[in-house]
Every structure is written in structure tokens, then in C-alpha cells.
């Protein structure tokens, strides 16, 4: 039996790509372990359901702010000190502890697990996986869900310098490299010529859903947006303004964790543009397995990325594939990654110019005026998710990489 250990700097719920890969290998008979840690309070409940389903598979470290407060506080202090010291030294695992709150604890656990392959999900986990692999002289895989060095506005930013240092130090030791979008893969290939990135899209397993024409005459057109966090600089303000400009019966449903300050800001903006209370809905986060049934009640999924910073311009989020697999039409902003996707799949929805409010308004108005086209688009998208854009298809690429190394 082959042994595979995944390492992440977050929780299972906040990293669905990792969960899909871990469950796939587990079901195929691999001995799988996942080393993870506390990241978001809202994810605790859904984590419990996941870990209960696979006892012993997920191993937490580094404490949390509720039960293991002392350990959690210690790791946070260490990370902050390491971040400050990174300006002056690269020794004593200072960069590694700066980029990951739980590097030391995760490495200690990883070295106790005799494994054939360590797979790091996100940049903070890569030093841990690489050092553990060196201890046993085994292989390392890395999944680039984001362009981490592209998450900063300036190359003078200390966060950029830290991320770039980790990339340059540890990428040469990776035995396989996957990326979550074609443009992330292309960027890394250009920056590090020795890498051979393989694209694995953010798709999900097939789900049996009944697609019905939700939007009919005298009923609201329901827009849907989701993310782990509902916050600023995600284009949501423009959606509210565009809804107001259509003068149509449109509702916007937002799923994710949001604080009272930002929620109030959106509600005040809606009030300013004379949008009624029943047109803006907030929903608390749910588990990844629940999102398909939840999302299928809506008509259109919106992906409103602003393209700033660079990572947002070239990433292809799981929104796109979730909407398709749920049988929603799409309205997406013209970031580089999303524009490229819409070139490949032009019938999945509408592309709008992210700096042009009228362009977004026109997209919403089109579906308001053409419910038959909306329904046909939804049916086509669901079928696309059942045939091509799903984890059953995409997982073959992942499995071939694992088997190869």
C-alpha cells in the first residue's frame, strides 16, 4: 500500500482542492494522512462533519483560539516574530515560520509519518513538505491554487519578498507541480523554467440535480455569488449598482462569512440606490458538499473578480466550475483568466468589462429579457459539468502524476 501525506496551512473546509485529492486517494486504497491547522472560526463546524466521516485521516496541529488557546497564541507570536526577523536573517527556519504559523508543529508530525509522497497545498506548506521529504528521501508534490507572489501590489512589499524567497528556495525540490488555472501555470513556467506545471481545474464531483426554469414572469431573477469571505474589492458594489440600473425584479444572494461592518456598508449602498430589503440576501457559510443543492435554486452565478492584484487577474476560482456544475448561467468579469475561459466556452454565459458598469447592467438585463435563453444556458452548463468539467475527469490527471512519481 502506498502512503501519501498532505500538508496545508489551513482547514479542510477552506481547501476543497486538497479534500478532493485526499478522498480520491483514500478511496483507491492509499494510506492517506492530512496535516492541517485552524484557520477560520466559521469552518469549525463543517470540519467536524468531514473529520467524522474519515476518522484518523486529518491531523490538526498548532492549537486554536477556543480549546487550545495557549498553543495557538504561542504559534501566532512565533510567526509574528519570524516575520519581523525575516528582514534581517534567513537562518534558523525564520522564513519557514514566517510564512506558516504551524511550520514547526506540522514538520514534527510529518517526520513521524513514514510516507512515499508529501503533497503541499499552498506555499506555506511547501517548506514543511520538502523538509519532511528530505528526512525520508522521498518525493514532493505541490499544488499552486494561487500565485502567492502575485498577491501583492508591489515587489517592495515584505510579504512579496517572503513569498518569492520561499518559491526560489523550495520550487527546485518539487517532483510534480500542479496549478489551478492555465495562466497561473503559464506564469510559473515563465518565471521558473525548470518547472513543468500541470493544470488541474477547480472542478467538483458530478452531482445529480434537477434543473428547472426558476426565473419566470412575475418572479425575481436570482443572482448568486459565494466565497469564503464576503468582503470589499470583490466587485459586489458594482453588482448592486447594476441591479438598480436594470429597474428589474432582481435579487442578489451572497454566501460566505461577512462582518457586520461590511454587511452594513452593502445594505446602506443598496438603500442609497433604492434597492428594497428583499433584493439583497446574506447566507452563512455551508459545507462544500451542500453548496450544489443550495446554489441550484438560483438562476445566474456571478464571478466579479476585479483583477487586482495579479493573482486575481490570472486565477480561475471554483466559482466558475461550481456554477456550471450546478446548472447556472454565468456573468463574469473580463479578468485575463475568465476571459480566456469564456473564449473556450462562450455559451456558458456573459462576459462584462470589469471597469464598465453599463456592461454589467447590460448582461443582467439580457437575461431579464430572455428567460428562455437563460434556461437553455443553464441546461447546457449542467450537461457540460456532467460530461467534461468535473472531478471524475480532472482527477485522472492528478492520479497520473501521483502514480508517475
pLDDT in single tens digits along all 405 residues of the chain: 699 999 999 999 999 999 999 999 999 999 999 999 999 888 888 888 888 889 999 999 999 999 999 999 999 999 999 999 999 999 999 999 999 999 999 999 999 998 999 999 999 999 999 999 999 999 999 999 998 888 888 888 899 999 999 999 999 999 999 999 999 999 999 999 999 999 999 999 998 888 887 767 678 999 999 998 899 889 999 999 999 999 889 999 999 988 999 999 999 999 999 998 889 999 998 887 889 999 999 999 999 999 889 999 999 989 999 999 999 999 999 999 999 999 999 999 999 999 899 999 999 999 999 999 999 999 999 999 999 999 999 999 999 999 999
- Residue 378 is inside which H or E element, if any? helix 371-387
For residues 129 and 224, give the distance between their C-alpha atoms in angstroms, rounded to a whole number: 37
Confidence at residue 217, expressed as pLDDT on a 0 to 100 scale: 62
Confidence at residue 287, expressed as pLDDT on a 0 to 100 scale: 81
Cell of 82: 519570524
For residues 99 and 125, give the distance between their C-alpha atoms in angstroms, rounded to a whole number: 9
CB 141, CB 118: distance < 8 Å: yes
Full-model pTM: 0.92
Confidence at residue 1, expressed as pLDDT on a 0 to 100 scale: 64
**Residue 210 per-residue DSSP state:** -
Cell of 24: 480520491
Confidence at residue 247, expressed as pLDDT on a 0 to 100 scale: 87
Give the number of other CB atoms < 10 A from CB of residue 55. 7
Of 103, 13, 19, nearest to 395 (Cα)? 19
CB 299, CB 30: distance < 8 Å: no
The C-alpha angle with vertex 148 and arms to 145 and 154, in degrees rounded to 5, equals: 150
**Residue 54 per-residue DSSP state:** S
Cell of 224: 448568486
Helices (H), 198-235: none
Confidence at residue 117, expressed as pLDDT on a 0 to 100 scale: 97
Confidence at residue 228, expressed as pLDDT on a 0 to 100 scale: 87
Confidence at residue 138, expressed as pLDDT on a 0 to 100 scale: 96
Confidence at residue 290, expressed as pLDDT on a 0 to 100 scale: 87
For residues 231 and 266, give the distance between their C-alpha atoms in angstroms, rounded to a whole number: 10
The C-alpha angle with vertex 10 and arms to 6 and 14, in degrees rounded to 5, equals: 100
Phi, psi of 192 (to 5 degrees): -130, 95
Phi, psi of 2 (to 5 degrees): -85, 145
Q: Mutual orientation of helices 371-387 and 357-369 as an angle, nearest 10°? A: 100
Confidence at residue 46, expressed as pLDDT on a 0 to 100 scale: 84
Amino acid at each position: 500500500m502506498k502512503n501519501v501525506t498532505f500538508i496545508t496551512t489551513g482547514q479542510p473546509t477552506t481547501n476543497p482542492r486538497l479534500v478532493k485529492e485526499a478522498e480520491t486517494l483514500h478511496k483507491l486504497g492509499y494510506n492517506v494522512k492530512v496535516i492541517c491547522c485552524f484557520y477560520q472560526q466559521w469552518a469549525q463546524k463543517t470540519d467536524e462533519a468531514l473529520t467524522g466521516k474519515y476518522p484518523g485521516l486529518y491531523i490538526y496541529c498548532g492549537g486554536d483560539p477556543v480549546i487550545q488557546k495557549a498553543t495557538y497564541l504561542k504559534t501566532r507570536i512565533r510567526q509574528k516574530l519570524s516575520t519581523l526577523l525575516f528582514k534581517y536573517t534567513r537562518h534558523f527556519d525564520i522564513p519557514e515560520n514566517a510564512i506558516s504559523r504551524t511550520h514547526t508543529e506540522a514538520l514534527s508530525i510529518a517526520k513521524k509519518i513514514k510516507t512515499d509522497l508529501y503533497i503541499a497545498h499552498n506555499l506555506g506548506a511547501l517548506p514543511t513538505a520538502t523538509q519532511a521529504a528530505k528526512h525520508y528521501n522521498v518525493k514532493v508534490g505541490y499544488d499552486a491554487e494561487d500565485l502567492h507572489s502575485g498577491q501583492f501590489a508591489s515587489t517592495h512589499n515584505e510579504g512579496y519578498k517572503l513569498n518569492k524567497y520561499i518559491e526560489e528556495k523550495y520550487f527546485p525540490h518539487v517532483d510534480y507541480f500542479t496549478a489551478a488555472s492555465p495562466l497561473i501555470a503559464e506564469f510559473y513556467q515563465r518565471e521558473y523554467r525548470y518547472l513543468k506545471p500541470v493544470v488541474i481545474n477547480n472542478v467538483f464531483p458530478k452531482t445529480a440535480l434537477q434543473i428547472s426554469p426558476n426565473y419566470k414572469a412575475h418572479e425575481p431573477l436570482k443572482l448568486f455569488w459565494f466565497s469564503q469571505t464576503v468582503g470589499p474589492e470583490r466587485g459586489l458594489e458594482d453588482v448592486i449598482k447594476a441591479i438598480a440600473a436594470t429597474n428589474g425584479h432582481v435579487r442578489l444572494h451572497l454566501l460566505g462569512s461577512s462582518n457586520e461592518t461590511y454587511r452594513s456598508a452593502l445594505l446602506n449602498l443598496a438603500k442609497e440606490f433604492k434597492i428594497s430589503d428583499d433584493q439583497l440576501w446574506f447566507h452563512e457559510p455551508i459545507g462544500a458538499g451542500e453548496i450544489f443543492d443550495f446554489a441550484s435554486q438560483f438562476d445566474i452565478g456571478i464571478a466579479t473578480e476585479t483583477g487586482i492584484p495579479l493573482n486575481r487577474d490570472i486565477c480561475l476560482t471554483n466559482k466558475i466550475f461550481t456554477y456550471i456544475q450546478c446548472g447556472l448561467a454565468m456573468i463574469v468579469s473580463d479578468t485575463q483568466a475568465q476571459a480566456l475561459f469564456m473564449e473556450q466556452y462562450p455559451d456558458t454565459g456573459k462576459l462584462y468589462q470589469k471597469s464598465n458598469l453599463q456592461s454589467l447592467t447590460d448582461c443582467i438585463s439580457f437575461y431579464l429579457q430572455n428567460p428562455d435563453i437563460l434556461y437553455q444556458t443553464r441546461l447546457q452548463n449542467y450537461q457540460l459539468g456532467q460530461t467534461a468539467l468535473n472531478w471524475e475527469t480532472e482527477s485522472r490527471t492528478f492520479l497520473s502524476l501521483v502514480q508517475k512519481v
